[in-house]
Structure 1
Amino acid sequence: MFRYLFLTVLAFAPLTLLAQAPAPIVPASLPTAVIGAIVPSAVPVSSVAEVNKTLRQPNVVLLDVRTPEEYATGHLAGAGNLDFRAPDLGAQLQQLDRNKTYVLYCASGNRSNKTAMLMQEKGFLHVVNAGAYQDLKDKVQLEVKKKK
């Protein structure tokens, strides 16, 4: 009888210890996995050389994703304005041709990155994050003028 009791305690003791153990702590900063899809955390900023090369291709649209006020203070030649902060941004993106290539820029590269990610989520396959306007304004403007 003692043997039976001893074996029972040995067999079930780990289960009772597990039931009393606290849940493991998982840091909130770890990325979550998405099964069945690859979700980029960012669209990297392309080099100026790559932006110039892309702008020389057919069916390329250059978009400034800053506010209309920022756009009015200066923008790259040939750039359209698509305000990232506009409440109807999603509806505006629906109006764009998904077969074209879009080159996006903003003040720092942050809004162009977010817009590029949003566009990719909506099915746009050819989106280039050109980064910051100040980094591009003297180096890309000449290339855009040659395109016309």
Structure 2
Amino acid sequence: MFNFLKSSAPAYHNLPPAQFSTEIRQPGAVLLDVRRPDEFAQGHLPGAVNIEVTAPDFAQRVASLDQQAPTYVYCRSGARSAKAADQLAKAGFTHVANLLGGVLDWPEPLTTR
């Protein structure tokens, strides 16, 4: 029997900035900025890798990442990163977290390096 109304929780976690900040410091964590390159250049979290979620090669580029590594995703407001987090979870990434509120709610300084 099919259950078309079955609702499943997202296969990723939404984290508030304080918890996100703590978790990205763990060894082996991957920090993924999914904004456009011009947004990334204006300021990003230190150590972030920029792979734009709306780029046609997004799936191909993230396929090179370690699916077992804790992966932390963010964007400007949290909307694009939620979409990216969902795609990563569906692609087999085992630990994916999304920054609630994105860089708009990020309390720490951004870097341009």
TM-score over 0.5 for the alignment? yes
Report the number of matched residues.
106
Greater gyration radius: 1
Runs of 5+ unmatched residues, structure 2: none
Note closer, same or farther for the CA distance 1:42–1:126 as it changes in structure 2 (3 Å cut): closer
In structure 2, distance between residues paired with 1:49 and 1:84: 24
TM-score, normalised by the number of residues in structure 2? 0.82
Note closer, same or farther for the CA distance 1:108–1:42 as it changes in structure 2 (3 Å cut): farther
Residue in structure 2 matching 1:110, options 72, 79, 82: 79
- Residue type of the alignment partner of 2:103: Y
Residue in structure 2 matching 1:98, options 62, 67, 79: 67
Task: Give the superposition deviation at 1:39.
Answer: 3.6
2:108 is the counterpart of 1:139: yes
* Map 1:17-56 → 2, pairs under 5 A: 32-33=4-5, 39-40=8-9, 43=12, 45-56=14-25
- Compare relative contact order (CA 8 Å, sep 6+) and give the higher one, 1 or 2: 2
Alpha-carbon RMSD across the aligned residues, in angstroms, is 2.0
TM-score, normalised by the number of residues in structure 1? 0.64
Runs of 5+ unmatched residues, structure 1: 1-31, 142-148
In structure 1, distance between residues paired with 2:8 and 2:20: 23
Question: Taking every aligned residue pair, what percent have the same amino acid on both sides?
Answer: 37
Conserved? CA contact 1:67–1:83, under 8 Å = yes
Note closer, same or farther for the CA distance 1:140–1:118 as it changes in structure 2 (3 Å cut): farther
